[in-house]
Structure 1
């Protein structure tokens, strides 16, 4: 076997061994067995929410275990593939081994990033809010481009996206949108996207074809669970109901079913218009408000810790630039990761940026 190939396979094996140690496969197998036992109970579906939580956790843990076990089996087989290809002098088999080698390197690297997600809420689903900032119509259009980018990323991975609220701008694009992405470690993965995104392009809304810089903000919080303690006093809430609207202010509902909640002590405002009834919209809006209050608590705790360590925030607010003119480039301003294909990034190809962000954040810690 080629010495370089042999050395790389040894490095991959060592990396996978460290991943297996972090994941604690014995503990993971015990958790799977415990969840399988819980899922087999005859009274499981007497409590629908608990049943969904058990089956979801079981599916996730089984998937994690299968993934790492399969990687180890494939890596063990890779050396045999190379030896057989070399013994037979078969160029086709050698090319096949090289392809499998590249795939394993990418998949092990991706799994290694997952092991870096060890925050308290990293395993949870993500609640994402995008807001148009400075830049007028272009900013609203850019906010809608980012909504599509995250939706396409989720679609590529088979992750469900639930849009809770969309506030459309008058001429084009959106003022804001709030949506949930349901996936293992969605919050930990997407939390590195938080901050201000910047777009530079020739404005399609400028008759003189001038270059325009616009901004959109991305907020990412973990979805609350029943075990979280987020008490909201009804006296601290203002509840407004209104009719749902579509693009351009077009009415899409003839009843006042949309709900807006204002948390008076903090000034946090959330709304939901996508459910069928006012009661459902209020329940969804309350869940969004709880998630935002939970994240506020987490940030306050983090600020106190940072103050104790005497180390200010290591995050700059502006985190990524998307340049479409006079050249083509997307660059992360924290990690320095950049690519020359903005259209692919805006179509959801952001995994490299997410991995770079996660690695960067771990280094800062």
Structure 2
């Protein structure tokens, strides 16, 4: 009986993997790897270190994609062999091991299936994340810093590189705002579901009366601009101010006016950069982030127009998207997907994959529903 059940479940695993391979387009992955390997072998590759880094990063990502699919094929084959051997030799321990491996493969396929839902225009891009403290005073500034650490730890656990581009420290503790890049393919598509208002409820460590405090922080995620994006910004639309970089408590960390604040006059979008070594580098970084925000704004305007033409469609994310409650009980809950975890410490240490996966699936369902109603 057990063997029959295993046969059906192994067949289901193969079917799921086949569906993922079709969506992933194995032929394209293989062709991309061949093209990127050719580019990586060019003798002048490292004449442009930034371009070289992009080529090697994309190559590594595509190779990992292919290896992940091939490894799952091998694991399913090995599972089938393990079940056959357990049945022939009447080994219940081996059968129990096979059952555990079956569950592990199913989880790996589920995780891989989520990646196939990242089909948006900018989903394959790297990401620029900005976190801003909201209402809640010093607790909100502290919360913004906690969220920054959460996302940086999450990226580190994935082996994704990050680069903090701008940090504005609050006077007492924490951050007014921080902007950082996440440099990995599909970082934008993955992290875009984290955009929105995050809420923290806890006993404030800054309140000597030990009262409970609710504070807020806003998370913005935009796709990193690429060289072929047509986002031209006339100099006449820019206001550029320079100032000295500052550290915690307002202390100066730079004796020259190297930090840059760039304002896009027509939209009022403001970008500050101070973590590069020179004013020229900070200006270039600020312009790139400004272009990224304008790119996303342009897409949002186009989407809004489509929505207007299609009529009222239920596809809104809403404002507040996740609550982190530390008192009177311990709970992190996503208000869109209803996914929740009872260990906030683990979540703050970067364990947010389940929240992100649930968010990606929720968004895909919203998009599908909107398309059906259009």
Aligned to 1:330: 332
Matched, 1:318 2:320: yes
CA deviations 1:149-189 (Å, max 9, x no partner) are 10110111111110001111111111100000112210000
- 2:345 alignment partner in structure 1: 343
**Aligned residues of 2:23 and 2:116 also touching (Cα < 8 A):** yes
**How far does the alpha carbon of each residue in 1:285-312 deviate from its partner, in whole angstroms, 9 at most, with x for none?**
1111111111111111111111112135
String of CA shifts for 1:261-302, please: whole Å, max 9, x gaps.
111111111111111111111111111111111111111111
Equivalent pair of 2:13/2:106 in contact (CA under 8 Å): yes
Counterparts of 1:320 and 1:288 in 2: how far apart (Å)? 25
* Superposed CA offset, 1:91-134 (max 9, x none): 55344433322321121111100000001110111100001111
- Give the distance between the partners of 1:132 and 1:317, measured in 2 at CA: 15
DSSP-derived class of the 2:294 partner: helix
Query: Offset at 1:43?
Result: 4.2
SS at match of 1:227: coil
Deviation at 1:212, TM superposition (A): 1.2
| Pair 1:286 & 2:287 matched | yes
Contact map agreement 2:6 2:83 (CA 8 A) in 1: no
Structure 1 residues 96 and 303, CA gap change in structure 2 (3 angstroms) = same
Alpha-carbon separation, structure 2, partners of 1:160 and 1:154: 7
Q: Per-residue deviation at 1:11?
A: 1.6
Structure 1 alignment gaps of length 5 or more: none
Matches within 5 A, 1:118-137: 118-137=119-138
- Count of residues in Structure 1 that have an aligned counterpart in Structure 2: 365
Could you tell me the TM-score, scaled by structure 1's length? 0.95
* Other structure's SS at 2:209 match: coil
Residue 82 of structure 1 deviates from its aligned partner by 2.1
Q: Which residue of 1 aligns with 2:370?
A: none
Q: What is the rounded CA distance, in whole Å, between the counterparts of 2:168 and 2:320 in structure 1? A: 23
Residues 298 and 148 (structure 1 numbering): CA distance in 2 closer, same or farther, change over 3 Å?
same
Residues 128, 224 of structure 2: 8 Å contact kept: yes
TM-score normalised to structure 2 length: 0.93
Please name the residue that 1:249 is paired with: 250
State the secondary structure of the residue aligned to 1:348: coil
- Structure 2 unaligned regions, length at least 5: 368-374
Q: Residues 58 and 185 of structure 2 are in contact (CA less than 8 Å); yes or no, is this contact kept in structure 1?
A: no
**Aligned residue in 2 for 1:34:** 35
Residue pairs, 1:88-167, within 5 angstroms: 88-167=89-168
The answer to which of 176-185 and 36-45 deviates more is 36-45
Q: Identify which range, 263-272 or 204-213, moves more after superposition.
A: 204-213
For the aligned residue pairs, the C-alpha RMSD in angstroms reads 1.6
